[in-house]
């Protein structure tokens, strides 16, 4: 097998190793494709990642071997990286907060004991059999690589408490931002507005159902919101850019009693204005990862072609081209944000 590992900032090495053998409770997955995400690029820039399995976490493939005790997965089954159901025995589960299950969180970030020592930028990987989720038959292997980021967007929608007829602003039109815009519309938003520095991404957001798009949080956006909402402002603002500046900009758009949801956030948000939240009595919420229901729901929407993911796919590259993909980045002038590695 071959897999990518970070050796220093801005350098990826492709390593050869013996094919993996599953331990009890594990499966071996032959990777069909793995999406390159924003967190992968940040890890490449830093030369380190919080957990090895996180570097390339948007993977899909087929099971080629199962370990002892695995009864619900089989060789040849197509699967996607996901999470198990809540464990029912950790501290949050025991007080009824199954949505905050520690086992699920560990699986998302690659801290569970059966995680691989590398991510999905590989020909093969191993994983806890409980966390790999079967791919619906109608979804192609190429599209299946978008299931994981779509589940992230779906979780953010659920965390927001979006109601039918709400006005929504999505700051950032990367993969998760575009999927959040699509899902907000499907969830009943009356108006969806996209904000991104890329005119090409904004055009794509409108093609996927946004009512309007702006290149920054500027006067024209404020005027549009004022005209559309009779001066009330946005009911919900999703910030899908991992900067404190995006959060601060988003606060200026939220209506009194509205909600701002941080879907992507960096290491520091020191300049987040609590006063701005207080003056509007607005709710600040964060959204981390997804759960097994999010994965099921987005697959159902993708199966019916109601959630369109194919327009988000820009290009594909093989494993040996991964370094070049990071060096060039997703070409924003092209529009679609997602590059797939197909090892």
Is 298 a member of any domain?
A: no
Is 77 a member of any domain?
A: yes
The answer to whether the pTM exceeds 0.85 is yes
Residues 136 and 160 in one domain: no
Is there a contact between 144 and 31 (Cβ–Cβ < 8 Å)?
A: no
pLDDT, tens digit, 9 for 90 and up, residues 109-155: 999 999 999 999 999 999 999 999 999 999 999 999 999 999 999 99
- The residues pairing with 259 across neighbouring beta strands, listed in sequence order, are 236, 283
Percentage of residues in the chain with pLDDT exceeding 70?
Answer: 95
Mean pLDDT in residue range 176-184: 97
Residue given tokens 């929504």 in the structure block: 168
For residue 317, give the 3-state DSSP assignment: strand
Residue given tokens 């093989």 in the structure block: 318
Return the pLDDT at 241: 87
Residues 135 and 164 in one domain: no
Query: pLDDT at residue 330 above 60?
Result: no
Res. 283 pLDDT band, cuts 50 70 90: very high
Res. 35 pLDDT band, cuts 50 70 90: very high
Is there a contact between 157 and 187 (Cβ–Cβ < 8 Å)?
A: yes
For residue 167, give the 3-state DSSP assignment: strand
Burial level of 210, CB count in 10 A (0-12/13-18/19+)?
Answer: buried
pLDDT, tens digit, 9 for 90 and up, residues 213-241: 999 988 999 999 999 999 999 999 999 98
Residues 139 and 187 in one domain: no
Burial level of 8, CB count in 10 A (0-12/13-18/19+)?
Answer: exposed
What's the CA gap between 59 and 30, in Å, rounded? 10
Query: pLDDT at residue 274 above 80?
Result: no
Which letter, b or e, does each residue of 88-107 get, where b requires 16 or more Cβ atoms within 10 Å of its Cβ? eebebbeeeebebbbbbbbb
Return the pLDDT at 181: 97
Per the structure, the complete domain to which residue 41 belongs is given by 2-146+309-341
| CA 36 to mean position of chain CA atoms | 11
Is 138 a member of any domain?
A: yes
CA 104, 105, 109, 110 torsion-angle sign: negative
Residues 165 and 132 in one domain: no
Res. 268 pLDDT band, cuts 50 70 90: low
Is 302 a member of any domain?
A: no
Return the pLDDT at 177: 96
Query: pLDDT at residue 267 above 70?
Result: no
Mean pLDDT in residue range 156-168: 98
Mean pLDDT for the chain overall: 93
What's the CA gap between 171 and 276, in Å, rounded? 18
Secondary structure (DSSP) of 297-312? HHHHHHHTTSS--GGG
CATH no. for residue 55? 3.90.180.10
Mean pLDDT in residue range 175-185: 97
Number of domains composing the chain? 2
Mean pLDDT in residue range 32-59: 93
Continuous H helices in 187-281: 199-207, 219-229, 244-251, 274-280
Is 218 a member of any domain?
A: yes
Lowest mean pLDDT among 43-57, 234-248, 289-303, 321-335: 321-335
Is 268 a member of any domain?
A: yes
Residues 127 and 178 in one domain: no
Query: pLDDT at residue 333 above 80?
Result: no
């Amino acid at each position: 097998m071959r897999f990518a590992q970070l050796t220093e900032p801005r350098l990826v090495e492709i390593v050869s190793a013996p094919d993996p053998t599953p331990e009890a409770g594990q499966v071996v997955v032959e990777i069909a494709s793995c999406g390159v995400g924003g967190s992968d690029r940040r890890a490449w820039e830093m030369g380190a990642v919080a957990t090895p399995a996180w570097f390339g976490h948007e993977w899909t493939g087929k099971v080629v071997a199962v370990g002892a005790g695995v009864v619900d997965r089989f060789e040849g089954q197509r699967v996607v990286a996901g999470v198990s159901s809540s464990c029912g025995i950790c501290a949050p589960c025991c007080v009824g907060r199954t949505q905050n299950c520690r086992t699920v969180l560990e699986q998302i970030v690659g801290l569970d004991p059966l995680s691989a020592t590398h991510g999905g930028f590989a020909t093969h990987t191993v994983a806890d059999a409980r966390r790999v989720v079967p791919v619906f038959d109608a979804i192609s292997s190429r599209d299946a690589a978008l299931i994981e980021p779509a589940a992230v967007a779906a979780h953010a929608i659920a965390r927001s408490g979006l109601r039918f007829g709400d006005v929504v602003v999505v700051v950032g039109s990367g993969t998760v931002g575009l999927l959040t815009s699509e899902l907000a519309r499907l969830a009943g938003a009356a108006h969806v507005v996209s904000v991104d520095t890329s005119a090409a991404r904004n055009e794509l957001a409108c093609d996927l159902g946004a009512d309007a798009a702006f290149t920054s949080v500027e006067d024209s956006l404020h005027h549009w919101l004022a005209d559309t909402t009779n001066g009330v402002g946005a009911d919900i603002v999703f910030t899908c850019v991992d900067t404190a500046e995006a959060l601060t900009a988003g606060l200026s758009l939220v209506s009194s009693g509205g909600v701002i949801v941080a879907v992507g956030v960096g290491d520091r948000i020191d300049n987040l204005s609590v006063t701005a939240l207080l003056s509007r009595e607005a709710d600040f919420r964060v959204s981390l990862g997804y759960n097994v229901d999010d994965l099921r729901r987005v697959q159902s929407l993708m199966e019916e072609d109601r959630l369109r993911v194919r327009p988000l796919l820009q290009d594909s590259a093989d494993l040996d081209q991964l370094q070049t993909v990071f060096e060039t980045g997703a070409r924003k002038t092209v529009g679609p944000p997602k590059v797939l590695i197909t090892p």
